[in-house]
Chain A
Amino acid sequence: MLRLKFNNWIFHHRISSAESLSRVLSRPFGSFIICCLIAMTLAFPISGSLLVKNLESLISKVIYEPSLSVFLDDQIPESKGRQIAESIKNWEQIKDLEFLTAEAALLKLGEDSGFGDLLLRLDTNPIPATLLLTLDSYLSYEDSEALGSQLLAIPEISNVIIDHAWLERLKNFLALGYRIIFLLTISLGLAAAIVISSMVKLAIENRREEIVVIKLVGGSDAFLRRPFLYMGLWYGFGGGVLASNLVIFAEALVISQVDALLLSYQSEYKFISLRVVEAVNIAVLGGVLGILGAWGAVIRHVPQIEP
């Protein structure tokens, strides 16, 4: 009995899905326009998130040059300081090293901070001799931190500061980017669902007579809902597939430009493209949005139609 019910259920779904698909395909131009509309709303946040992802990896891989300020102990004589500098200069993560005496370090701080005059008027120099390290660009922030603690293990070194203020700023900036993309996704996803909802509402209006007849011969609300839910599914799925293709097309347009640009950086950076899994996810997301939009229309308008 249960098995029979299940078979009926499958059978109904097969019929409704095929029927609504043929309805969608029977108006190829109109359906294509609707799918395009949905595709555009979906393509915006997708390409936005790709853009932010690329920015993130581009900045961290190509532009980011991690650097460390290493402060030596106050009591260390200059010669000893230079000796230490020589000894760590050959560490493989270190690309460049500059030794600053306490005076030079004070001067540099004065220049960098703009408080030069003020600092020079001090009686004693609060700044110790300093090593300015530039690290290899492939190092992550965590690598820099590890290197920092390795350096701190040397007894003559009193303090290490990782210059990461700009990295923090970048991270905040990217976080903001992701948040904007998130909001964009939600609002444009909603827009796509609303487009589908109004299309389904129109379809319900157009098939009012059919709905009445089906109710008269004993069709349940679930039976009546099904073809419209499938309609939403097909529109949304079609829109999702189209959106993926739109993004891939746009990528193809910009990718050569970006590659040419990156060549000048002599970087092994690779453009992050839309992955197949993501494209599939977008189509599925489109389908889900379609069902949700259709559901909104069906719940409001189908029960209102009474024989």
Chain B
Amino acid sequence: MIKLEHVVKRYHGQRDALSRVSLVINKSEMVFVAGHSGAGKSTLLRLIMLLERPTRGRITVNDIDLQSISSAGIAQYRRKIGMVFQDHRLLFDRSVIENVLLPLTILGTERKEAFRRARAALDKVRLLTRERAMPKELSAGEQQRVGIARAVVTRPSILLADEPTGNLDPNLSREVMLLFDEFNRVGVTVVVVSHDLSLISQLGHRQIRLEEGGLI
């Protein structure tokens, strides 16, 4: 469960990127976050990931008050959340499977088990045949799917995605959204930032709309 209470985020001397936002995303729920550019969608996810701290208000994730996490505990906290980025953030000097293995290496998963899980994750995004490929040999949609495999390989209970289909054509976008939907079906809490209103309405999950830092 993700819970925001009167959360304000103000970057250095600017207007509020988020102003007094309160919302609850339930366990195993899937929600879309929509809104114009600059509405504060990325800021919302960055706060949940502890990439930023709120200026005011309280955020609780899986019953943990994020305020109680010191900077030394942030890394540990992030391991429990999967995150997918618009620009997928793959490491281009490592092969596909090595990219997917990275979170497991950080966790210290035993090597054989790690490979098994990484392959399972790649299988889920239907890229098992490309495990030895380098990211630059993949199409944009494939790269994004590797990013998704990396996000889910540790089986996080929460999956966040910031415009994961921003660089993809409608068909690929749909494919990626359906993947998120699949993960949600097995109990993962999924928060997806997206502009793609038609796709959102097709999938039929709850929508959170932000405008100028506020909920509407």
**Which A residues contact B (CB, under 8 angstroms)?**
7-9, 11-12, 15, 209-210, 212-221, 223, 306-307
Asked whether any CB of chain A lies closer than 8 Å to the CB of B23, the reply is no
9 closest A-B pairs by CB: A8-B108, A218-B79, A218-B78, A220-B75, A217-B103, A219-B106, A218-B75, A213-B89, A210-B91
Name 22 A/B residue pairs within 8 A (Cβ), A-sorted. A7-B108, A11-B108, A11-B110, A11-B111, A15-B105, A209-B91, A210-B93, A212-B89, A213-B90, A214-B106, A216-B51, A217-B79, A217-B83, A217-B102, A217-B103, A217-B106, A217-B150, A218-B103, A219-B75, A220-B75, A223-B75, A306-B51
Min CB–CB distance B121 → chain A (angstroms): 13
B76 at the interface (CB under 8 A from A): yes
Instruction: Tell me how far the C-beta of B21 lies from the nearest C-beta in chain A, rounded to whole angstroms.
Output: 22
Nearest chain B CB to A25's CB is how many angstroms away?
15
Nearest A residue to B111 by beta-carbon distance? A11
Contact of B78 among A8, A9, A217 (CB under 8 A): A217
Q: List residues of chain A with CB within 8 A of the CB of B75.
A: 215, 218-221, 223
Q: Which of B32-52 contact A (CB under 8 A)?
A: 49, 51
B residues less than 8 Å from A9 (CB atoms): 108
Looking at the assembled complex, report how far the CB atom of A303 sits from the nearest CB atom of chain B, in whole angstroms.
9
Prevailing SS type, chain A contact patch: helix
User: How far apart are A125's CB and chain B's nearest CB, in angstroms?
Assistant: 87
B108 in contact with A12 (CB, 8 Å): yes
Interface 1/0 per residue, B81-108 and A, CB below 8 Å: 0010100011101000000001101111
Contacts of A219 in B (CB 8 A): 75, 106
Partner of B76, one of A214, A216, A220: A220
What's the Cα separation between A210 and B106 when bound, in Å?
13
**What's the Cα separation between A8 and B110 when bound, in Å?**
8
Choice from A11, A213, A221, A223 contacting B91 with Cβ under 8 Å: A213
CA distance A11 to B107 in the complex (A): 11
Which residue from chain B places its CB closest to the CB of A4 in the assembled complex? B108
* Residue in B76, B90, B93, B110 whose beta carbon sits within 8 Å of that of A218 in the complex: B76
CA distance A12 to B110 in the complex (A): 10
Q: Which chain B residues border A221 with CB–CB below 8 Å?
A: 75
Taking CB as reference atom, which chain A residue is nearest B81?
A218
A64–B23 Cα distance when bound, in Å, is 91
Provided the pairs A209-B91, A210-B91 are in contact, do residues A216 and B78 lie with their beta carbons within 8 angstroms?
yes
Alpha-carbon gap, A9 to B108, bound state (A)? 8
Q: Which residue of A lies closest to B89 (CB)?
A: A213
CB distance from A20 to the nearest CB of B (A): 14
Considering the chains assembled together, what is the distance between the CA atoms of A46 and B103 in angstroms?
Answer: 45
Given the complex, which residues of A lie within 8 Å of B78, measured CB to CB? 215-218
Residues of A within 8 A of B106 (CB): 214, 217-220, 223
Identify which of B83, B105, B107, B111 contacts A216 (C-beta below 8 A): B83
* In the complex, chain A residues whose CB is within 8 Å of the CB of B105: 12, 15
Complex Cα distance, B48 from A238, in Å, reads 45
Taking CB atoms, residues of chain A closer than 8 Å to B77 are 218
Instruction: Establish whether residues B108 and A214, one from each chain, have CB atoms under 8 Å apart when the complex forms.
Output: no
* Min CB–CB distance B115 → chain A (angstroms): 13
Smallest beta-carbon distance B18→chain A, Å: 19
Residues of A within 8 A of B91 (CB): 209-210, 213
Question: Which residues of the partner chain A approach B102 to less than 8 Å between Cβ atoms?
Answer: 213-214, 217
A213 to chain B, nearest CB (A): 5
